[in-house]
Amino acid sequence: MTKKIIMTATALLIVALAGIYAFRHQEIMAEKVIEPAPAATVDSSACIASKEFMKANHMRVLNEWRHSSVREGNRVWVAPDGRKIEKSLNTCLNCHSSNRMFCFNCHMYANVKPNCWNCHISPMEAP
């Protein structure tokens, strides 16, 4: 009986410690976020287009975004519904990198090997 109580108490303690650590870690990471520039009116909190559209056209979107932001300096994309979105790979990854299989599942299945992660930090190796 006492053995059982000790076991349960230890288990609860470990879970509680892990929880506290996780919470603190989130807080520390949250403090590192850079404040946006004052004029920013960009919203990247929701997906930029429907899943079906992005499945078929994400590479075209990224290519177009890269060209206009790098070459012409136009870094804001206005979605059909009027939202303003930062033209950046991180607009997608800021939400989707919590899913470690984002990008990889489909690319593996389709045997597509884009070289994004040779330079950009991939969701797989996020710190």
119 touching another protein, by CB under 8 A:
yes
Residues 75-94 that bind another protein (CB under 8 A): 75-76, 84, 86, 88-91, 93-94
- Smallest gap, in angstroms, from Cβ of residue 41 to another protein? 7
- Smallest gap, in angstroms, from Cβ of residue 110 to another protein? 21
Give the integer Cα–Cα distance in Å for 106 and 109.
5
CB of 74 within 8 A of CB of 68? yes
CB of 104 within 8 A of CB of 117? no
Residues 28-67 that bind another protein (CB under 8 A): 29-30, 33-34, 36-42, 44, 66
CB of 67 within 8 A of CB of 20? no
Give the integer Cα–Cα distance in Å for 117 and 90.
13
Closer to another protein by CB, 50 or 115: give it: 115
